[in-house]
């Protein structure tokens, strides 16, 4: 479930508890632009919650007087799904507002508590063995975003080059199982997306920024989010006993069973050290069929590993 769902729920809770709130106040609270808030309000209206727009100096948004959330707005299964997502997010980001939102939903829909408490799905977004390290990073970044404080980071890129940067943190992004930080980089004087696992050190500065930044949704596009550079097409032949492992990484339509019981996988990746390490992680269960230069690189690295033990 995306962070936007959490924001939509939080906006509803705010409007239920306040007479009137302006778009600028909501934008400031959630660290987004007013344009994004207007889109959120439209989505809430489409969901069946009547929001009134007030013009003038004291203008803003409010929920229609005497309105109560229709208990049929969400089915029991949908409520359980929302709570599962919130609790999964809370497993990585310890945030009282997330806990509060989850508890508020439970009180609004008490008749669905039995299904909500029946944990058919559990989302734990913590990586194995790195819970404390990741949570410490996330807490510091959250504080920077909330207070509009700059961060100083030591960042290592795919070429193993370390650079020190001062950044204005804007949005935390969880894509797949990997956390990223969308920021304005003062060194490059442009927007950048930093992978949290590559931030080897970070510190909170006493420097504050007021610049209204471009939303991540506005920034995100194929070139900005994923710029593969040199992409390589791989054909990998796996031993029969590797099936359980390769099913964790490749889609069913990417895996072709061969007559001798082995499995052929055809996939394209950006060519960098990650892809070499990924292939080597399968040990002797995989052989690179094409391209030849990747065969050569993997062979060289395997020989280097062999030399370490002889």
Per residue of the chain (310 residues), what is the pLDDT tens digit?
456 777 887 888 778 766 688 888 888 888 788 888 998 888 888 877 888 888 877 788 888 776 655 555 566 666 666 776 676 666 566 666 666 666 666 655 555 555 555 555 555 666 555 567 788 888 899 889 988 999 999 998 867 789 999 999 998 888 766 788 999 999 999 999 898 888 999 999 999 998 788 888 777 654 455 555 578 899 999 999 999 889 888 888 899 999 999 999 999 888 878 889 999 999 999 999 999 999 999 999 999 999 999 8
Rounded Cα–Cα distance for residues 6 and 28 (Å): 16
Closest CA to 99 of 1, 9, 2: 9
Residue 225 has what pLDDT? 56
State yes or no: cis peptide before 205, omega within 30 of 0. Answer: no
CA–CA–CA angle 145, 151, 153 (5° rounding): 130
Structural tokens at position 219: 């920034």
Detail the DSSP E strand segments found in the chain.
Answer: 51-54, 60-63, 149-156, 162-175, 178-185, 190-195, 199-208, 231-238, 255-257, 263-270, 286-290
CA 147 to chain centre: 21
Residue 277 burial by CB count (10 A; 0-12/13-18/19+): exposed, middle or buried?
A: exposed
The domain defined by 131-225 carries CATH number 2.30.30 = yes
Structural tokens at position 301: 């690295």
What residues does CATH 3.30.70 cover in the chain? 231-308
Residue 195 burial by CB count (10 A; 0-12/13-18/19+): exposed, middle or buried?
A: middle
What residues does CATH 2.30.30 cover in the chain? 131-225
What's the whole-model pTM score?
Answer: 0.52
Closest CA to 57 of 9, 22, 13: 22
For CA atoms 238, 243, 248, 251, give the dihedral sign: positive
Our CA dihedral for 109, 78, 94, 137, rounded to 10 degrees, sits at -160
Assign domain 3-117 to a CATH class: mainly alpha
Distances (CA, A) of 244 to 40, 241, 248, 282: 42, 7, 7, 12
What residues does CATH 1.10.10.10 cover in the chain? 3-117
CATH number of 231-308: 3.30.70
Residue 212 has what pLDDT? 80
């Amino acid at each position: 479930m995306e962070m936007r769902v959490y924001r939509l729920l939080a906006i509803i809770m705010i409007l239920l508890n306040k007479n009137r709130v302006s778009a600028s106040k909501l934008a400031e609270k959630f660290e987004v632009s007013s344009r994004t808030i207007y889109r959120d309000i439209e989505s809430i209206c489409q969901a069946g919650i009547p929001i009134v727009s007030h013009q003038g100096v004291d203008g803003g948004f409010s929920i229609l007087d005497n309105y109560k959330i229709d208990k049929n707005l969400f089915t029991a299964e949908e409520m359980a799904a929302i709570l599962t997502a919130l609790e999964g997010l809370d497993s990585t980001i310890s945030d009282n507002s997330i806990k509060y939102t989850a508890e508020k939903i439970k009180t609004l829909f008490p008749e669905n508590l039995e299904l909500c408490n029946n944990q058919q799905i559990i989302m734990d977004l913590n990586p194995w063995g790195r819970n404390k390290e990741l949570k410490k990073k996330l807490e510091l970044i959250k504080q920077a975003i909330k207070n509009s404080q700059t961060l100083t980071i030591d960042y290592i890129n795919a070429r193993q080059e370390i650079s020190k940067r001062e950044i204005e943190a804007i949005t935390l992004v969880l894509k797949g199982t990997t956390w990223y930080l969308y920021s304005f980089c003062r060194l490059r004087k442009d927007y950048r997306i930093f992978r949290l696992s590559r931030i080897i050190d970070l510190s909170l500065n006493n420097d504050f920024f007021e610049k209204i930044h471009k939303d991540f949704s506005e920034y995100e596009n194929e070139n900005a989010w994923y710029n593969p550079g040199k992409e390589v097409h791989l054909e990998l032949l796996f031993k029969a006993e590797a099936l359980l492992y390769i099913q964790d990484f490749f889609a069913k339509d990417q895996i072709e069973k061969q007559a001798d019981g082995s499995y052929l996988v055809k996939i394209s990746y950006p060519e960098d050290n990650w892809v070499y390490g990924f292939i080597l992680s399968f040990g002797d269960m995989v052989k690179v069929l094409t391209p030849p230069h990747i065969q050569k690189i993997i062979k060289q690295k395997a020989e280097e590993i062999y030399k370490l033990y002889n």
